[in-house]
Amino acid sequence: MARARHPTEDPTWVKALVLAVVAAFLALVLILPLAAVFAEALRKGLAVAIDAIAHADALAAVKLTLITAAITVPFNVVFGLCAAWAVAKHDFPGKAFLITLIDLPFSVSPVVAGLIYVLVFGLQGWFGEWLLDHDMKVIFAVPGIVLATIFVTFPFVARELIPLMQEQGVSEEEAAISMGASGLYTFWRITTPNVRWGLLYGVLLCNARAMGEFGAVSVVSGHIRGLTNTMPLHVEILYNEYDFVGAFAVAALLCLLAIVTLVLKTALEVAQPAVRRGGH
């Protein structure tokens, strides 16, 4: 080789070895499962797969998944902005503890997340009788599914916004306010534009999790076809009925959602490198 190797550069054989090991590992762990989903979905041809997705129960599941995400994501955006404004732009005792509490749902098993709402709103739960008397249903109905999804995705947007707003400090907001801008105007014209890419990043991850959540939703849904089945639950039902093509066809649709999420996320990271943070 014409160029001498820089002392902090690995020898070529080390590079080749590391890349080979990494490529083999990622192929086995990540690429193979993804490929298997599409291969199984198309096992009996594209038409059969599309039929499975166009089935009334599958379409109802798609609709419920979209409704759940449409409630969960805006809720978490409003909460995330509130929490980030309070935590990042002000000083108060117990701030670190509050951030830990906001993060708490990350370390709670999704099954436990479902269980807690059964204990609160279920027939034997705190409000079970009251809900029954007023002819309202939370568990085994859409409100329970939405609540469980909100719990599981709770930290996503706030977690993205808090460090970002902390880094940006308060000088721009203080300048605006000292020149007579109202708080709301300052928030809308100064803070929001500064954090919009971080917000989008959080929304992207929150949406993917909201549409894909399984454990928590599984506990509160009751698996009523056409009524309380989200797409991941529909996948489970079809799979357990040995309708593998149907299960993998709906799964392939969810894979496409994941791929779109990853493409948008990567595009965002390339365009706005500042949004890239540690993993969730």
Stretch that binds another protein, among 47-55, 56-64, 124-132, 194-202 (CB under 8 A): 124-132
CB nearer to another protein: give 37 or 60. 37
Asked if residue 30 binds another protein (CB under 8 A), the reply is: yes
Stretch that binds another protein, among 9-17, 55-63, 129-137, 192-200 (CB under 8 A): 9-17
The answer for residues whose C-beta is within 8 angstroms of residue 180's C-beta and 6 or more apart is none
Asked if residue 12 binds another protein (CB under 8 A), the reply is: no
Distance CA 278, CA 30 (A): 20
Please report how close the Cβ of residue 248 comes to another protein at its closest, in angstroms.
7
Please report how close the Cβ of residue 275 comes to another protein at its closest, in angstroms.
12
Asked if residue 93 binds another protein (CB under 8 A), the reply is: yes
DSSP 242-278: T-HHHHHHHHHHHHHHHHHHHHHHHHHHHH-GGG---
DSSP 45-88: -HHHHHHHHHSHHHHHHHHHHHHHHHHHHHHHHHHHHHHHHHHH
Binders in 158-197 for another protein, by CB under 8 A:
170, 173-174, 177-178, 183, 186-187
Asked if residue 138 binds another protein (CB under 8 A), the reply is: no
Binders in 217-246 for another protein, by CB under 8 A:
218-219, 231-233, 235-236, 239, 244
Distance CA 43, CA 248 (A): 10
Amino acid at 90: H
